[in-house]
């Protein structure tokens, strides 16, 4: 019984699912020594050199074999990429779907440290969906990315078929189907929000251009790095060949937080809360919509009759939850953010339950609510499970909701002016009010 694995240079095309498992490093200039032995001959060649490793029938240690048949020493295989799969697992792979490519930026950061292992486990895209992970980092994080890759290896995830790490978005985004853009500079003490918008905006402008050039044409992009709505707008403006509809800013964490607070107040388990919309910006102007949300299928305002609490206590607790968490933890939400990224993706790849919806920050062009066009704004959506979504039409508005939404809209319009130089809209002019231009973590 021979079992095979393949290790290939970055120039090879994806090998067949039934035999492939590999780790590649795509930073040409900073190839860590530890992994150099995987890339024989050296990176500058274009040959499709492979190292195959076989395991003998009597379960002896794996023996590495080159394409030309000469036996290599065991050292030339790397850990789990030498040992591969038994025949039962090989049989199983025959029912697997075609592999998808997922890029995660800021992959050595806190959120990614939770997220990557959920992605690799099959908990997000399903138990029959093999994946390739492409981890984008920088000079700062390349060593740490190796550590992440090693931990992924040691986790022995059957569905994880490839891991690439690199610092060049034009390489790491190649043919990517999902881009989860988490990496962003955190706002430091004394830093102006306008400066943050500019620094992070440059990152997302560059990544938008790279996605436009090399990603799968129908790539889905989820921006997590803050300020995520405006970063998503910058990204999509720099990627004109990708449908604007495919870009999302993560507001699912806010939706989850809102559901939790309503459940707590109503004394029900949080799965009883549905139809929870977060409108607007992922900031302290966001609007958790208790007018349309339901508890056990009933309007929230019927179940929770303390309307003053809904307008003030509830709304503020959701808007400022991130800040409270930073006070407790000493850092921003990472595990719950990763869970909400999983939820956000699952909402797009599984059909939305009848009558329900989910929140995500999406492009406003053509929206039925009268929200200004050309923004990325959190709104209620439904999906058939094909990665696409529709905006929900049958939502109610009252004066309170309209006024609150208008405030978040004004904030996003002001942010957009600050980044005009990055969206192709001329010269930037930045005048952000002092009060309402905060991230949830900035209270």
Ligand X SMILES: NC(=O)C1=CN([C@@H]2O[C@H](COP(=O)(O)OP(=O)(O)OC[C@H]3O[C@@H](n4cnc5c(N)ncnc54)[C@H](OP(=O)(O)O)[C@@H]3O)[C@@H](O)[C@H]2O)C=CC1
Ligand Y SMILES: O=C([O-])CC(=O)C(=O)O
Q: Does 183 bind ligand X (CB under 6 A)?
A: yes
Catalytic hit among 18, 30, 37, 282: 282
Query: Residue 415: which of 372, 368, 365 has the closest Cα?
Result: 372
Binding to ligand X by CB under 6 A, coded x per residue (else -) over 35-74, reads ----------------------------------------
Is the C-alpha dihedral spanning 321, 323, 324, 328 positive or negative? positive
Tokens of 200: 């992070």
Residue placing its CB nearer to ligand X in the complex, 229 or 274: 229
User: Which of ligand X, ligand Y, none does residue 281 bind (CB under 5 to 8 Å by kind)?
Assistant: none
Strand partners, 359: 380
* Burial class (CB within 10 angstroms; exposed 0-12, middle 13-18, buried 19+) of 91: exposed
DSSP characters for 358-370?
EEEEEE-TT-TT-
**Spatial CB neighbours of 144, under 8 Å, sequence gap ≥ 6:** 108, 137
Residue placing its CB nearer to ligand Y in the complex, 94 or 328: 328
Residue 102 φ then ψ, to 5°: -125, 125
**What 3-state class would DSSP assign to 89?**
helix
CA torsion 138-113-244-390 (nearest 10°) is: 180
Could you tell me if 278 and 287 are in contact, meaning their C-beta atoms sit under 8 angstroms apart?
A: yes
Query: Residue 160: which of 73, 235, 100, 87 has the closest Cα?
Result: 100
Q: How many residues of this chain interact with ligand Y, rule: CB under 6 A?
A: 8
Q: Which stretch binds ligand Y (CB under 6 A): 87-95, 360-368, 400-408, 433-441?
A: 433-441
CA 108 to each of CA 58, 142, 289, 320: distance values in angstroms, whole numbers, following the listed order:
40, 8, 34, 26
Binding to ligand Y by CB under 6 A, coded x per residue (else -) over 236-265, reads -----------------x------------
| Least distance to ligand Y, CB of residue 191, Å | 13
Which residue minimizes CB distance to ligand X? 109
Residue placing its CB nearer to ligand X in the complex, 99 or 250: 250
CA distance 361 to 104: 19
CA distance 395 to 275: 10
User: Which of ligand Y, ligand X, none does residue 138 bind (CB under 5 to 8 Å by kind)?
Assistant: ligand X
| Least distance to ligand X, CB of residue 60, Å | 40
Q: Angle of helix 193-214 relative to helix 228-237, nearest 10 degrees?
A: 40
Q: Does 422 bind ligand X (CB under 6 A)?
A: no
Binding to ligand X by CB under 6 A, coded x per residue (else -) over 97-126, reads ---------x-xxxx---------------
282 catalytic residue (yes or no):
yes
Match 């919509």 to its residue by tokens: 289
Residue placing its CB nearer to ligand X in the complex, 100 or 144: 144
Q: Does 276 bind ligand Y (CB under 6 A)?
A: no
Binding to ligand Y by CB under 6 A, coded x per residue (else -) over 329-348, reads ---xx---------------
Residue placing its CB nearer to ligand Y in the complex, 62 or 361: 361
Q: Which stretch binds ligand X (CB under 6 A): 20-28, 262-270, 272-280, 327-335?
A: 327-335
286-325 binders of ligand X (CB under 6 A): none
User: Which of ligand Y, ligand X, none does residue 212 bind (CB under 5 to 8 Å by kind)?
Assistant: none
Binding to ligand X by CB under 6 A, coded x per residue (else -) over 190-229, reads -------------x--------------------xxx-x-
Beta strand 294-295 pairing with 273-274? antiparallel
Residues that bind ligand Y (CB under 6 A): 226, 253, 322, 332-333, 439-441
Which residues carry out catalysis?
282
Residues that bind ligand X (CB under 6 A): 106, 108-111, 137-138, 140-141, 182-186, 203, 224-226, 228, 250, 253, 282, 332-334, 337
């Amino acid at each position: 019984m021979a079992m095979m694995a393949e290790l290939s240079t970055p120039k090879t095309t994806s090998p067949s699912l039934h035999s492939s498992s590999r780790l590649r490093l795509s930073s040409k200039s900073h190839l860590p020594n530890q992994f150099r032995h995987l890339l024989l001959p050296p990176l500058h060649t274009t040959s499709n050199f492979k190292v195959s490793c076989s395991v003998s029938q009597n379960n002896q240690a794996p023996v590495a074999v080159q394409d030309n048949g000469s036996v290599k020493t065991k050292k030339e295989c790397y850990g789990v990429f030498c040992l591969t799969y038994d025949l039962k697992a090989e049989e199983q792979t025959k029912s697997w779907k075609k592999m998808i490519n997922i890029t995660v930026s800021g992959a050595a950061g806190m959120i990614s440290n939770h997220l990557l292992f959920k992605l690799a486990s099959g908990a997000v895209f399903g138990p029959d969906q093999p994946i390739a992970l492409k981890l984008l980092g920088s000079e700062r994080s390349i060593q740490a990315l190796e550590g992440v890759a090693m931990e992924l290896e040691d986790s022995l995830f059957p569905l994880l078929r490839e891991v690439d790490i690199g610092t060049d978005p034009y390489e790491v985004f190649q043919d990517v189907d999902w881009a989860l853009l988490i990496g962003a500079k955190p706002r430091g003490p004394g830093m102006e929000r306008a400066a943050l918008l500019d620094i992070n905006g440059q990152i997302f402008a560059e990544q938008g251009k790279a996605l436009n050039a090399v990603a799968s044409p129908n790539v889905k992009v989820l921006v997590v790095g803050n300020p995520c709505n405006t970063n998503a707008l910058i990204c999509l403006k720099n990627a004109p060949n990708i449908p604007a509809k495919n870009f999302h800013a993560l507001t699912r964490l806010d939706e989850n937080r809102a559901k939790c607070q309503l459940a707590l107040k109503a004394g029900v388990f949080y799965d009883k809360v549905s139809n929870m919309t977060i409108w607007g910006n992922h900031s302290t102007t966001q609007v958790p919509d208790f007018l349309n949300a339901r508890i056990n299928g009933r309007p929230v305002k019927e179940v929770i009759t303390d309307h003053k609490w809904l307008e003030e206590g509830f709304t503020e607790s959701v808007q400022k939850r991130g800040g409270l968490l930073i006070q407790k933890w000493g850092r921003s939400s990472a595990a719950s953010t990763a869970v909400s990224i999983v939820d956000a993706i699952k909402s797009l790849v599984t059909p939305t339950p009848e009558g329900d919806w989910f929140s995500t920050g999406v492009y406003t062009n053509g929206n039925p609510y009268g929200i200004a066009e050309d923004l990325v704004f959190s709104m209620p959506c439904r999906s058939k499970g094909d990665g696409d979504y529709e905006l929900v039409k049958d939502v109610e508005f009252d004066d309170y909701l309209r006024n609150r939404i208008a405030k978040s809209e004004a904030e996003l319009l002001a942010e957009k002016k600050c980044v005009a130089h990055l969206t192709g809209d001329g010269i930037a002019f930045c005048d952000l009010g002092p009060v309402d231009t905060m991230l949830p973590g900035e209270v």
